[in-house]
């Protein structure tokens, strides 16, 4: 047990002086890798439990801090990525203008229309070898409109519905996840539109690769891996020929770059990667992880979020920029709206609303009792308010697969 004032960078926090569910931490157990993480912990806890076996001395060297007054450095430390560098100069604050229940039907129409358009785009590309950017924009624009009206509705639909073939499903999903993150970061609408279009196009080059390679369940040979990586160059070429803006091309070029320099094709790292590329890396990885693919089973959203966090870092040591990952989690929620969950008493419900302050405590509509029998009346409970004598009484035990127990979450919104 260690008092918070005695904590130092590099320590691994294995337990708190309160239940994890009462904290704002999205995961149970984390490294203290920044002064911000120390300060945040001090606001919530008096003492914590530290695992000495998992101490990481490299984190101590990443940020120098002292109890003496800080002196302005003559030159900023280029190894540290500050939050201001990923947000616009004057971030906009967006709020939902319609209820999630009112947005579900328009969002579903926009999504169905977008699928039809993207199917046509894919067919035309395979026949003519070119794309029509205006067609793709006509598919993506209504999805962004929906995100701007209510950030939860269309995201819920993506989790509830199977959109069909992975190529266009992934494109549309990434456009939505990107719009959600850009909205959360406060970008102007014009840039949100540009980011969403870039996300929808970033894997378009894969359609130029042999279908056997895309659907292969076998480990790739060196030759096939190099061929797979060529989809970035192919995508840039297709988009350039279609006349897209430079900002969109930049996103396509850098969506496989990684924060630690381990990505491709250029091996860029940290600030060398434009914000659009850093955003693309996160949404591309997240959607791939939660999607069923020929060679990989889908993870739950909660599992995918944990993977992102495990590989995120404030400096250039992780695959993803930690600040961006944290904003992404805030945008979509640890348990997104539409997720089927099992509570600690065995009852089953559907997440219907997020809690931005306590991300592990959304509002849940109870569908089945602890015996897994359908309830006659569906009651919405607020997990943040489910407290007795200062301790939580109800919490999410685990996320369940899509359509678990035959539950269609869409029925409870539409």
Using the predicted structure, report yes or no on whether residue 17 has a pLDDT greater than 70.
Answer: yes
Distance CA 395, CA 379 (A): 15
Distance CA 335, CA 353 (A): 9
Which pLDDT score, from 0 to 100, does residue 12 have? 80
Which pLDDT score, from 0 to 100, does residue 78 have? 43
Q: What angle do CA 133, 139, 141 make, to 5 degrees?
A: 95
More confident residue, 38 or 222: 222
User: At the fourth CATH level, which superfamily is domain 100-332?
Assistant: Hypothetical protein af1432 (1.10.3210.10)
Distance CA 368, CA 363 (A): 15
pLDDT in tens, 236-254: 999 999 999 999 999 999 9
pLDDT in tens, 358-412: 778 899 999 999 999 999 999 999 998 988 887 889 999 999 988 899 998 877 7
- DSSP-based three-state secondary structure for 398: strand
Asked if 314 contacts 270 with a C-beta cutoff of 8 angstroms, the reply is: no
What tokens appear for 272 in the block? 């060398």
**Which positions ≥6 away from 243 have C-beta within 8 Å?**
133
Only one residue has tokens 């381990």, namely 262
Which pLDDT score, from 0 to 100, does residue 61 have? 43
Rg of the chain over all Cα atoms, to the nearest angstrom: 22
Number of Cβ atoms within 10 Å of the Cβ of 413: 23
Alpha helix ranges (H) inside 166-272: 166-185, 189-201, 211-214, 222-229, 231-241, 246-254
Using the predicted structure, report yes or no on whether residue 34 has a pLDDT greater than 80.
Answer: no
Which helix (DSSP H) or strand (DSSP E) does residue 50 occupy?
strand 47-50
Distance CA 324, CA 121 (A): 31
Using the predicted structure, report yes or no on whether residue 322 has a pLDDT greater than 70.
Answer: yes
Distance CA 229, CA 232 (A): 6
Q: 325: which DSSP letter?
A: H
Using the predicted structure, report yes or no on whether residue 210 has a pLDDT greater than 50.
Answer: yes
Which pLDDT score, from 0 to 100, does residue 28 have? 67
Q: Judging by DSSP bridges, how do beta strands 312-313 and 320-321 pair with one another?
A: parallel
Using the predicted structure, report yes or no on whether residue 413 has a pLDDT greater than 70.
Answer: no
More confident residue, 267 or 209: 267
Q: What percent of the chain shows pLDDT beyond 90?
A: 53
Asked if 150 contacts 160 with a C-beta cutoff of 8 angstroms, the reply is: no
pLDDT in tens, 36-82: 778 788 888 888 888 766 666 555 444 333 333 333 333 444 444 44
What average pLDDT does the chain have? 85
Cis-peptide, bond into residue 252, ω within 30° of zero: no
Q: How many CA atoms lie within 13 A of 256 on its CB side?
A: 18
Alpha-carbon separation of residue 115 from 106, 122, 264 (angstroms): 14, 10, 29
Distance CA 45, CA 47 (A): 6
Only one residue has tokens 């130029």, namely 208
Distance CA 259, CA 271 (A): 8
Domain with CATH 1.10.3210.10 in the chain: 100-332
pLDDT in tens, 88-116: 888 999 999 999 889 999 999 999 999 99
Q: What percent of the chain shows pLDDT beyond 70?
A: 88
pLDDT in tens, 155-201: 988 877 665 577 788 999 999 999 999 999 999 999 999 999 999 99
Which pLDDT score, from 0 to 100, does residue 35 have? 74
pTM over 0.85: no
């Amino acid at each position: 047990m260690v008092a918070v004032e005695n904590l130092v960078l590099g320590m691994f926090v294995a337990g708190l002086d309160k239940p994890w569910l009462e904290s704002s931490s999205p995961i149970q157990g984390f490294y203290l890798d920044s002064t911000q993480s120390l300060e945040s912990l001090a606001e919530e806890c008096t003492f914590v439990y530290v695992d000495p076996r998992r101490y990481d001395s490299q984190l101590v060297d990443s940020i120098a801090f002292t109890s003496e007054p800080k002196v302005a450095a003559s030159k900023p430390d280029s190894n540290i990525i500050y939050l201001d560098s990923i947000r616009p100069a004057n971030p906009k604050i967006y709020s939902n203008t319609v209820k999630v229940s009112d947005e579900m039907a328009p969002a579903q129409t926009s999504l169905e229309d977008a699928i039809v358009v993207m199917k046509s785009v894919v067919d035309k590309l395979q026949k003519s070898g070119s794309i029509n950017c205006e067609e793709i924009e006509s598919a993506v624009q209504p999805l962004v409109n929906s995100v701007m009206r209510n950030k939860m509705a269309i995201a819920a639909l993506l989790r509830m519905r199977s959109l069909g073939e992975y190529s266009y499903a992934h494109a549309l999903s990434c456009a939505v996840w990107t719009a959600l993150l850009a909205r959360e970061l406060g970008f102007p609408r014009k840039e949100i539109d540009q980011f969403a279009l870039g996300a929808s196009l970033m894997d378009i080059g894969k359609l130029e690769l042999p279908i056997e390679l895309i659907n292969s369940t076998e480990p790739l040979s060196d030759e096939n891996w190099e061929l797979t990586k060529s989809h970035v160059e192919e995508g840039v070429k297709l988009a350039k020929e279609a006349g897209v803006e430079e900002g969109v091309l930049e996103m396509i070029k850098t969506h496989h770059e990684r924060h630690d320099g381990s990505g491709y094709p250029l091996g860029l790292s940290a600030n060398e990667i434009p914000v659009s590329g850093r955003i693309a890396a996160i949404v591309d990885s997240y959607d791939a992880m939660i999607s069923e693919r020929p060679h990989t089973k889908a993870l739950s959203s909660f599992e995918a979020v944990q993977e992102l966090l495990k590989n995120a870092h404030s400096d250039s040591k992780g695959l993803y920029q930690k600040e961006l990952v944290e904003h992404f989690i805030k945008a979509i929620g640890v348990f997104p709206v539409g997720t089927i969950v099992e509570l600690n008493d065995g009852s089953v419900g559907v997440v219907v609303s997020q809690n931005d302050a306590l991300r592990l405590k959304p509002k849940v509509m109870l569908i089945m009792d602890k015996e897994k029998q359908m309830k006659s009346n569906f009651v919405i409970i607020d997990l943040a308010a489910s407290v007795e004598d200062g301790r939580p009484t109800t919490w999410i035990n685990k996320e369940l697969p899509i359509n678990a127990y035959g539950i269609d979450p869409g029925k409870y919104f539409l």
